[in-house]
Amino acid sequence: MIEFISSNRHKFVEIKTRMDECNLGITWVRMKYEEIQADTTEEISLDSAKKLSSFRGKPFFLEDTGLYITSLNGFPGPYSSYVSKKLGNQLVLKLLDDERSAVFLTVLTYWDGRSFFQFSGKLEGEISLVERGKNGFGYDPIFIPKGKDLTLAEMTVEEKNEISHRSRALNKFIEFLRTNGMP
């Protein structure tokens, strides 16, 4: 069983659903950890993994995700968690005019007990005019993936997993595990 460290139940459910489909076992280590404020999602993800590896005995993975809004020069990006808490979706909507494109980026970091490996996944789309949908979490009610009419919060976990930033990063990681073996 490989450990996934996160305090976020929604992330765990999305990841477990995909891992189950691939017959890969996963254990949820429900744990909150401090994240640094840095310029990139990659740095935040790697820094968290490095800190946790210093006292975790077994291989694990974690992930960090950011929402990059084009008209805001990529903001909130690595500040996504802070902005979500401070502003929330309603105030984010107020910041935007006609240009509404955005990208989700997930960077998953795996520690195999010796080395760190990173896998990233992106989802392009646009910010909706109003919040829609009750599923998911965070920015899901205001994000419409490219080529879709529904927000991520109007999709089931399986539908979100078919296209999401998180599942794209996870699929690369699963490929890595298939090639290199489970820990």
CB of 180 to ligand IMP, least distance (A): 25
Cα separation, 113 vs 110, in Å, equals 9
**3-class SS string, 107-128:** EEEEECCCCEEEEEEEEEEEEC
Interaction between residue 118 and ligand IMP (CB under 6 A): no
Name the residue whose CB lies closest to ligand IMP.
Answer: 138
Query: 161: part of which helix (H) or strand (E)?
Result: helix 157-163
Provide the mask over 1-20, with x wherever binding to ligand IMP is found by CB under 6 A and - wherever it is not. -------x------------
Interaction between residue 81 and ligand IMP (CB under 6 A): yes
CB of 42 to ligand IMP, least distance (A): 12
The count of other CB atoms within 10 Å of the CB of residue 75 is 17
Residues 147-176 that bind ligand IMP (CB under 6 A): 152, 166
Distances (CA, A) of 114 to 34, 45, 50, 117: 22, 17, 11, 10
The SS3 of residue 57 is: coil
17, 70, 71, 84: residue in contact with ligand IMP (rule CB under 6 A):
84
Cα separation, 144 vs 124, in Å, equals 9
CB of 58 to ligand IMP, least distance (A): 22
46, 140, 145, 168: residue in contact with ligand IMP (rule CB under 6 A):
140
Strand 2-6, strand 60-69: pairing? parallel
- Token pair of 19 as six digits: 């891992």
Q: Which residues are known catalytic residues? A: 64
Interaction between residue 126 and ligand IMP (CB under 6 A): no
16, 137, 157, 183: residue in contact with ligand IMP (rule CB under 6 A):
137
Of 117 and 137, which CB lies nearer to ligand IMP in the complex structure? 137
Respond yes or no on whether the N-terminal peptide bond of residue 78 is cis (omega within 30° of 0): no
Residues 39-68 that bind ligand IMP (CB under 6 A): 64-65, 67
Write out the residues near ligand IMP by the rule CB under 6 A.
Answer: 8, 64-65, 67, 80-81, 84, 136-140, 152, 166
